[in-house]
């Protein structure tokens, strides 16, 4: 039996091995993704993002628990937790599982940690592909926890159907909420650590300043991101977040935005793959040597980078 | 873009809560360019095996200071085999009486480290072990 078949039949060892192949961009991984592709497109991809230490992992742990134990019927849950890779050593310490120990021993849960491996948008290069594999494996819900983010790591908005931005009191004044970036991608806003002073005020301020910015290319939507208070450590406010997730999913499906986001994501993947393939073809066709010559010319200020590119394009179109 | 990295699970089975040693090793391995999944204290053998499976690690490092290693280690090894992860390199660190070391190695533990082991030694051992198992690895049979 092939690895893809084993995976589709629920073999967890096969799933785990498949994720490694895909994460390492192994040639087998590409074949596998191709075989699995017809089985994708069913899972609800939920991004969980926010600054370090606000309680993202704890919230994911509680949400997964809720969907396994309290939600009727229970949903199967996969979790992809991304932590940063050191830019100096290439190593990483992946610690999100520490907060997810309640989920042990449940075959309806699968947790995978990923190092960002040099990517800077809050995810790893292969996170989207890893999510595809988990989708094919049949998980109903896939939580994707980003690295602790600042204000500009918004790749998750392109990958997830629903983005939950988690904040905690004490991180900044209301001007922070006005800055473009991470708050703008929120479909649901969670103020965690609600037992701390300032949480309710923070939620009020966020709600006030949070008219939804339209994502480019999407019709004006009537979704108003709810601002919810949780104390994830004690499991408080979790059913409300789950209800908001369900409401957002229903909203996306009702308005056709589910399809629109799917389309957007797949088009982006095709573009990325095309770019990669074109570049490889170009390099293999003698582009690398010509590029080196141009770099020298530019380095000596004999040519502007713009002209270098024009010449390179001309040279490759002259190639038979 | 992406390439293969050594993935290591660092876990503390049993009930003692002293994880300073485990954290120091975890950081040293990170600094050596490995991806370290740190699961924290009070892990059961089932939890460790499950995490090793889901994370598809090459190495499992167990830190045991409670003296229960002769009970815990065979349980972890057994659970790892049960989930199809019998091939991973298992390391044990902690307070292990010299008489127990050969017994642990006999069970299938790759190395046992006592207090004061330089972390560079652990890094080197892991690199050697993973390189060796990668070069001799057969494509894994899927049931």
Same domain, A48 and A186: yes
Is the same domain home to A98 and A224?
Answer: yes
Class of residue A281 by CB neighbours under 10 A (exposed 0-12, middle 13-18, buried 19+): exposed
- Number of domains forming the structure of chain A: 2
CB count within 10 Å of CB A164 equals: 29
pLDDT score of A264 = 87
pLDDT confidence tier of residue B40, bands split at 50, 70 and 90: confident
This prediction has a pTM of 0.89
pLDDT digits (tens, 9 = 90+) for B65-78: 888 999 999 999 99
Q: Are residues A275 and A239 in the same domain?
A: no
Q: Is A262 within the bounds of a domain?
A: no
Is residue A174 located within the same domain as residue A124?
A: yes
pLDDT for A174 equals 58
The reply to whether B117 falls in a domain is: yes
Question: A200 φ, ψ to 5°?
Answer: -65, -40
Domain boundary among A233, A255, A277: A255
Number of domains chain B is built from: 1
CB B12 within 8 A of CB B95: no
**If contacts are CB pairs under 8 Å, which of residues 80-119 in chain A contact chain B?**
85-86, 89-95, 97-98, 101, 104-105, 110-113, 115, 117
Does residue B23 sit within a domain? Answer: yes
- Which residue segment(s) compose the domain that B47 sits in? 7-134
**Domain interval for residue A200:** 40-255
Evaluate whether residue B2 is within a structural domain: no
Query: Does residue A63 form part of some domain?
Result: yes
- Asked if residue B107 is part of any domain, the answer here is yes
Question: Can you give the pLDDT at residue B141?
Answer: 41
A20 lies within 8 A of chain B by CB:
yes
Rounded Cα distance between A112 and A17, Å, is: 11
Residue B114 to residues B43, B69, B121: CA-CA distances in angstroms?
21, 13, 12
Alpha-carbon span A214 to A296, nearest angstrom: 44
Residue B66 lies in a domain: yes
Is residue B104 scored above 50 in pLDDT?
Answer: yes
* B115: CATH: 3.40.50.280
Answer yes or no: are the C-beta atoms of B10 and B63 closer than 8 Å: yes
Q: What is the mean pLDDT of each run of 10 residues along chain A (320 residues)?
A: 93 96 92 96 95 92 96 95 90 90 89 90 91 97 89 81 90 60 84 92 82 57 88 95 97 93 89 92 89 94 95 78
Q: Are residues A198 and A99 in the same domain?
A: yes
Q: Are residues A207 and A294 in the same domain?
A: no
Same domain for A242 and A285: no
Interface of B with A (CB under 8 A): 1-5, 26-27, 29-40, 43-44, 46-47, 50-51, 53-56, 83-85, 140, 142-143
Decide if A263 is inside a domain.
no
Residues A89 and A165 in one domain: yes
Residue A33 located in a structural domain: no
- For residue B90, is it within any domain? yes
Burial of A315 (0-12, 13-18, 19+ CB in 10 A): middle
Between CA B74 and CA A110 the distance in angstroms is 25
Is B78 within the bounds of a domain? yes
A239-280 pLDDT, tens digit each:
999 999 999 999 999 999 999 889 988 998 899 899 989 999
Give the integer Cα–Cα distance in Å for A220 and A135: 29
What pLDDT does residue B2 have? 47
Contact A89 B30 (CB under 8 A): yes
**Residue B138: is its pLDDT beyond 50?**
no
CB burial of A179-188 (b: ≥16 within 10 Å; e: otherwise) equals eeebbbbbbb
């Amino acid at each position: 039996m092939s690895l893809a078949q084993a995976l589709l039949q629920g073999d967890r060892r096969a799933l785990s091995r498949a994720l490694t192949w895909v994460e390492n961009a192994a040639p087998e991984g590409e074949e596998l993704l191709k075989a699995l592709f017809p089985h994708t497109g069913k899972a609800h991809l939920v991004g969980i993002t926010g600054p370090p230490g606000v309680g993202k992992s704890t919230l994911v742990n509680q949400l997964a628990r809720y969907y396994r134990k309290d939600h009727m019927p229970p949903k199967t849950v996969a979790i992809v937790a991304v932590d940063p890779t050191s830019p100096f050593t290439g190593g990483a310490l992946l610690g999100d599982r520490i907060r997810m120990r309640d989920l042990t021993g449940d075959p309806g849960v699968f947790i995978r940690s990923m190092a960002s491996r040099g990517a800077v948008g809050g995810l790893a290069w292969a996170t989207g592909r890893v999510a595809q594999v988990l989708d094919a494996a049949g998980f109903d819900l896939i939580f994707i926890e980003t690295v602790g983010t600042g204000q500009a790591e918004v790749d998750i908005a392109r990958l997830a159907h629903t983005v939950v931005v988690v904040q905690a009191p004490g991180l900044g004044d209301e001007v922070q909420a006005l800055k473009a970036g991470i708050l703008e991608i929120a479909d649901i806003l969670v103020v965690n650590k609600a037992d701390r002073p300032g949480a309710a005020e923070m939620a009020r301020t966020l709600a006030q300043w949070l008219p939804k910015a339209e994502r480019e290319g999407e019709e004006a939507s009537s979704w108003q991101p709810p601002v919810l208070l949780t104390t994830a450590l004690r499991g408080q406010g979790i059913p409300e977040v789950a209800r908001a997730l369900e409401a957002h999913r229903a909203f996306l499906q009702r308005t056709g935005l589910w399809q629109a986001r799917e389309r957007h994501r797949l088009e982006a993947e095709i573009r990325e793959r095309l770019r990669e393939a074109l570049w490889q073809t170009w390099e293999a066709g003698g582009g690398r040597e010509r590029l080196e010559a141009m770099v020298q010319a530019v380095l000596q200020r004999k040519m502007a980078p713009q002209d270098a590119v024009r010449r390179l394009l001309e040279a490759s179109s002259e190639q038979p | 873009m992406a390439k293969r990295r050594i993935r290591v699970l660092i876990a503390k089975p049993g009930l003692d809560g002293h994880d300073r040693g485990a954290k120091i090793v975890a950081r040293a391995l990170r600094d050596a360019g490995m991806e370290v999944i740190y699961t924290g204290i009070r892990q059961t053998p089932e939890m460790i095996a499950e995490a090793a499976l889901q994370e598809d690690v090459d190495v499992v490092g167990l830190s045991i200071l409670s003296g229960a290693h002769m009970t815990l280690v065979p349980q972890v090894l057994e659970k790892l085999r049960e989930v199809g992860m019998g091939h991973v390199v298992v390391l044990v660190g902690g307070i292990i009486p010299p008489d127990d070391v050969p017994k642990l190695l006999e069970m299938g533990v790759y190395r046992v480290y006592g207090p004061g082991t330089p972390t560079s030694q652990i890094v080197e051992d892991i690199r050697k072990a993973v390189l060796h198992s990668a070069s001799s690895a057969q494509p894994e049979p899927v049931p």
